[in-house]
């Protein structure tokens, strides 16, 4: 398979993906945004808790520096 055929196949596959995709409705978009924000906040809280635990174990105080 040469470069031209690979490029042609890529364009065909890309076009297929665009054809079957759809624009989400407002409700679906809002739900996805809320889930993403909740996930980011959860990761931040877990990271902060781990940082506090490590700080307490290493220095014995809550010095985050």
Predicted pLDDT at 22: 86
Residues 32, 26, 24, 36, Cα dihedral to 10°: -10
Q: Report the pLDDT value the prediction gives residue 8, as an integer from 0 to 100.
A: 93
pLDDT recorded at residue 64: 64
How far is 52 from 60, CA to CA, in rounded Å? 10
CB 22, CB 16: distance < 8 Å: no
pLDDT at 60: 82
Tens digit of each residue's pLDDT, the chain (65 residues): 789 899 999 999 999 999 999 888 999 999 999 999 999 999 999 999 999 999 889 888 877 65
Specify whether the CB–CB gap between 55 and 62 falls below 8 A: yes
């Amino acid at each position: 398979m040469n470069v031209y055929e690979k490029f042609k196949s890529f364009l065909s596959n890309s076009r297929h993906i665009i054809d079957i995709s759809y624009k989400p409705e407002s409700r679906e978009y809002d739900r996805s945004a809320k889930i993403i924000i909740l996930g980011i906040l959860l990761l931040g809280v877990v990271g902060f808790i781990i940082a506090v635990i490590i700080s307490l174990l290493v220095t014995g105080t809550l010095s985050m520096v």
